[in-house]
Every structure is written in structure tokens, then in C-alpha cells.
Structure 1
């Protein structure tokens, strides 16, 4: 948004193309919205200009404040963000799972879509990656370090890949690895992980909302990749 040559408002977005049902679908992730106070009555014009791009699936994965209600008025739908806050515990010796974070190990083990996702995100500033191997199978976890109540001790899963059951079975080893990285707790969002880790924890009564707007794409096709969650630390 310009006033003469001065920038008075910005809505930053992350663009990507995703394959859904064998077709390439353009995505626009709404990442950051900032308008100078005296120009805020014009904010909706900026939002409508962004949403006026035809054919896009729009996601807003970290809306806050008045943006949530605004999104709902503009046709956004809330995703199911049911989340269990679980404690990351020291590993019990003798369990047969191994965790690796070296790029060479990830590149060797990951195939297909997981390999593509890893290549696309391996240099994303907020994304961290680990591989867990157990009984000849492997699981892949992409996660970020999050801050709550000014404490940067929360792991937030962004993508779970590999063998569907391996990550769940080997979670004690993953949990112990996260704890060694200074991440005492995991915000285990069921829709991302595909399971709920056991052990000490509580269900969040008000998990943070995530939203999307699309004509022909359902919530099952919306994930956290190619977004501000992978690109921006906070």
C-alpha cells in the first residue's frame, strides 16, 4: 500500500505450487500483515487486493488478533488444530530406535515426496529435520522451535513422513532427542503427526487457529509446508 512513494502497508505472502489429485494447484500463504496506524482504515483494500488473485488456495497459518474474525468474514475456514501438549522425556535405554539429523542420512533414506519436501526445506530458517530408524523402517519429522510465554522450549511438528507407524513407535527416541535440543515440550497437533504421543501431557483447550480459503480443495490437502512456519523464527 502506497501513499505517494511511501510504503504505508504490506501483506507479505509465500507462493508455491502443490500437486493435488494429479493437478498442480497454486497456493498463496498469507504470512505477515502490517499497516501504519493512520492508514488502518484502508487495510481491507490491501487484503482484498491479495485475495483477488484468482485460482489460488489461500492459507493463513498464524492469524492473530482481529485478523481471525476478518478472515472468517472473508470466507476462510478454520482447520482442525486439536493439539496435545506432551512432555519430552529422557530416553529409556535398550530401545532399538536411532535418530539422525545429518543431511547425508536424510538424503540417503528419504525418497519420493519426502525427498522433495526435504530438499525444498533443508535451508528454510525455521525448519529442523530428523530421521528416526527402527526395525528396518524409517520416519521423517520436520519441526520448528516455538516460543510460548517467552519460553523457546516448544517443538511444533510441521510434517511427518516415512513409514506411517515408525514415527509413532519410535516417539520415545524422538522425544529424548528433542529434549536434548532444549525442547522440553511438543505441541503435538494430531492433523500433522497423524497420531497423539503418549506420556504426560494435556489437551489444549484453545489451540491456536489456522485457516484456509479454497473453492475445490478440502482441509485434508492443507499442510504447514511452504509457509511462514518454515521460513520465519519467532
Structure 2
């Protein structure tokens, strides 16, 4: 499957990178890694999936994240076999965090709902590091010591995820703000970071400039995409995107605010 996805979906990712991304690093029973179509000896289509178990309001909820979907043109009429096989699995909430244009109306017909993806475009400026009480932590040992509880669990689950980068801003006397981001492309330009998780939104408002400065000076990324459902308040300065990329989910019981970007292809596949 990895060779197929490299050759037919995204050649920027080597087959070895696809193979590494397919198996997530967090502990969870994976009933499969998606489904594929085979004709005689060759694969002609694939739909990846990432599974996780999350504690939400004291209950364990099971998720299936629909990920990369690719079918050769001459077999497109069989594409729905893959999607139906995934959705037929009982007991899961389903997320689709990067649906393509043609998939969005299909998802809507299958009772997927849109998440609010209002997104601020933030310039990563070289703000002065003006406080000795603030430390920006990126080494694994430093992050482990700074985090606790849910944030520490999330870090340990995603520390080896292929697409994630981790940073903690620790403020003396106020705790720590943990953020996960990934590099993304827009108009085929690898100039953007996308924030996938913020652990302390109240503190993020105060220390966001340290994170944006870090993205520019340490990673060479000039712009950050910050979804308000993830970061909370809109960072300043920023402009709101007119057409942010959609994200969708299907669940009989969960609210939109209980859906996030973790434990998904966004954390595992560095396309």
C-alpha cells in the first residue's frame, strides 16, 4: 500500500515514509489500517484510516479518522466500496480532516457535519524575548518535565508521530503552554505552520508570540495557520482566511467542540 500511495498519490513522500506513517505511534487496537482494492496482483485503490480511543467526559470513545484516499481513474466506480467498508464498522465516531473538493458533498450526503474551521493567518515575527521568566522548551526531556496530566499523555502519544513538532512555553509561576504544530503547504509553498493542539488556551494568549517567534527563527516558517477552535482567541496581529479548508465529522453523540485534530493523519502523514 505504501508503494501505491507514493507512486499514485504523493511522490514527495517516499514509500518508506508512507509505510512509517501508516502505523500510528499511540497505543490503541487498530482493527486495520484502512482498506485497499486489488485487481489480480496489483493494488488499484486505497483508503487509509487511523484509529484511537479517547476519554471524553469520563467515557472512552472510539474514533476512526478517514485519511488518504486514492483510486486509479479506471477503477473510480469502485471507490465507494472502500468508504462503505470503513463506515460499516460499528461503534466509531468518524472524522475527515482533509476532505478534497469532490469528497465534501459526498460526506454531507452520508451525514457528516462541518467543523467550524475559522482560521487566522498569523505572521511569525521576530518578537524580542523580553522576559527571563519565560522559557521555550523543545527537547524531549525538558518537555516531559514541564508537562503533566492530559498534556503529558498527549505528548507521549505523539512524540514519535511523523508530522508533529512540539514546543512548550513555560512561564515562572503560571505553568506551561504546550503546542503541537505541523508544516503545511499552500499553493504548493511549504511556508506555513498549522497548529494542531494547544493545551492551555488562557496562557496561549500571553505566550503566543514566543511560539510564533520560535517557528520563524528555529524552523524558518514565516506564517502560521491558527484555527480559533484550537487556539481560542484570535492572535494579534492576524487576518482571517476567507476560505479555510473544511473539516468534517460524523457522530451520533459528540459535539463539534469535542472533536480535535489529534490522533489523526494530520499528526502522522507529513505530506
Bin for the TM-score computed over the shorter chain:
over 0.9
What is the TM-score when the length of structure 1 is the normalising length?
0.95
Whether 2:128 is the aligned partner of 1:67: answer: no
* Counterpart for residue 2 of structure 1: 38
CA displacement, residues 126-184 of structure 1 (integer Å, 9 cap, x when unaligned): 100001012422100000011112221211011101x4322210112111111111111
Instruction: Return the offset for 1:22.
Output: 1.3
* Counterpart for residue 191 of structure 2: 153
Q: CA RMSD in A?
A: 1.3
* Counterparts of residues 197-208 of structure 1 (less than 5 Å): 197-199=235-237, 201-208=238-245
* Counterparts of residues 146-225 of structure 1 (less than 5 Å): 146-161=184-199, 163-180=200-217, 181-199=219-237, 201-225=238-262
* Counterparts of residues 15-34 of structure 1 (less than 5 Å): 15-34=51-70
What is the TM-score when the length of structure 2 is the normalising length?
0.82
Whether 2:49 is the aligned partner of 1:37: answer: no
> Aligned partners of 1:164, 1:3: CA distance in 2, in Å?
49
Q: Unaligned 5+ residue runs, structure 1?
A: none
Structure (1/2) with the larger strand percentage: 1
Tell me which of the two structures has the higher relative contact order, counting C-alpha pairs closer than 8 angstroms and 6 or more residues apart: 1
Q: Unaligned 5+ residue runs, structure 2?
A: 1-36
State how many pairs are aligned. Answer: 232
Instruction: Return the offset for 1:125.
Output: 0.9
> Aligned partners of 1:164, 1:158: CA distance in 2, in Å?
13
Contact 2:129 2:210 in 1 (8 A): no
